[in-house]
A and B are shown apart, each in its own frame.
Chain A
């Protein structure tokens, strides 16, 4: 079953583009990455899911229910961590979390305490006195305390130190193993690579590619580096080669296609060194943005 189903979703802010014709679907139990640079439309998409804003056209369903008509029911089962967290000042952490808890039908006190302990959150402190990183922890506890079926993360790691990031990712993995579906928006590719099964790449408001992480890394591109004297880069100007860079006796390029074609071309010449490796997600990503 699809947990999220988006069909031709479009949002304009007046004349300004938010997202255009976005379609994808997220299966139950998946950790789905949503990557793109700032301003690509990631937060717009998420805010549409949460009915903070309403679509210009197209539709989206979460748990099989239309977001415009069943927002309240849907939000009962969503845990959301925004990219920046802001809270009412003058409240204690515990009061804020209890306030959060009061909106959900189930009793979440036990889970709330567990999460606070994992994230090393001091419940007695006042929100105003917390550092940004600590406010983010409050956000994590608040987003997960009701054991939601769908966890929506918008650039979740900003402001967390590496140790907390690790704890956070472990927590998300546990939630995922429990059965929660995760929608993970980020522009940091390393974390998406680490966490996600599939990824949608969004650029200038449009989803330009949807792939599973493995095929994105393995099946498509090879990163090839050849070192040799008097190398003529035209030799390698065959179909499937791109981003060719020549510098100081070596050439670098990405190749997509039958690898034998390239090895044959290489073997015809005397070379000093050859490396063929998997491109990182960053490099693949760069490719989509060239």
Chain B
């Protein structure tokens, strides 16, 4: 375990980068995914089509391929970004598709009568969604969203292969220098991931209870 203790600053740096990747991508994916979810239930057919095409493309493409496109292909199109923002974009694109589907299933879980009542008092589609449907969808959306966030946290390790010095990247570099201590290093890496994912799970439980009472 000495390797981990000796290189703690490096681990912490990697952990910090992983945490930032997860939080930034998670927040952006939540916004983008919710907008896409709204598109998928929209009364306007082109918006529905857009949502569907996005989900099918982003969800069914391996994350590594998405990274490849963002990191290597977009610079050729004249859009040159540092590696960290590129990684956030790739993770956001990929994760938003899953968020979209979670939000859509949440919207569908709210009875159709609620939407009819909302429209009947003259609320527009957007107002109905914001004031009536989404607040009620939250309670069914929280558990799958936390799952998605945990998956996202682990997916940030892909960024390590694309020049971002996050946890996994740190671990790999350390194993190169300490061939005899591979196991402790990898355990160290795993523990740091757990520091993010386990509290997320606990937070999910609390959130679930909270939205359940608010009903």
* Chains A and B belong together in one complex: no
Residues of B whose CB lies within 8 Å of any CB of A are none
